[in-house]
Amino acid sequence: MGIFTNRKAQAEAIADDVGALLEATANIVERLKVPQERVNEMMPESEALSIFEDAVGTAAGWARLEANGQFMPYSRTFLKGLSGIIFGLKEGEGSHVVEGAEEIIRCSRQLVKRGF
């Protein structure tokens, strides 16, 4: 009986981790949205740094899940998208930020279609 209780607790902990990472990832993408009238404005450095730090932390969470063999099909895609965002913010390459965010949005839509 104890082994099943332990597995259930582990499954719940993983579900909580995934939920928190999905929320953090969605928050990063949301913060990157810019109203059309402000497209040509530069993002304040403090905001870019804050998003960068959050993206690094969130990417580490997805990498940890992947390293543990949990939630692999999606963790890899979210990690790839976040890596693009991180690289783009670090190097000032807006196209990488956009591509990373689009990768995350596509993966999120697949999750919704599958009932996550």
Q: What's the pLDDT band for 4 if we cut at 50, 70, 90?
A: low
Note the CATH number of domain 2-31+45-113.
1.20.120
Q: According to the model, what pLDDT value does residue 92 have?
A: 85
Give 5-30 pLDDT, tens digit per residue.
687 887 788 788 888 999 999 999 99
Q: According to the model, what pLDDT value does residue 8 have?
A: 81
Average pLDDT, the chain: 84
Closest of 39, 17, 24 to residue 81, by C-alpha: 24
Q: According to the model, what pLDDT value does residue 40 have?
A: 54
Is-above-0.85 flag for pTM? no
Q: According to the model, what pLDDT value does residue 37 have?
A: 55
Q: According to the model, what pLDDT value does residue 1 have?
A: 47
Give 32-60 pLDDT, tens digit per residue.
886 555 555 677 888 889 999 999 999 99
Closest of 91, 67, 92 to residue 79, by C-alpha: 67
Quote the tokens at residue 91.
Answer: 């190097």
- Find out whether 24 and 61 touch, Cβ atoms under 8 Å: yes
Q: What's the pLDDT band for 65 if we cut at 50, 70, 90?
A: confident
CA distance 113 to 73: 15
Q: In the chain, what are the domain boundaries?
A: 2-31+45-113
CA distance 5 to 107: 32
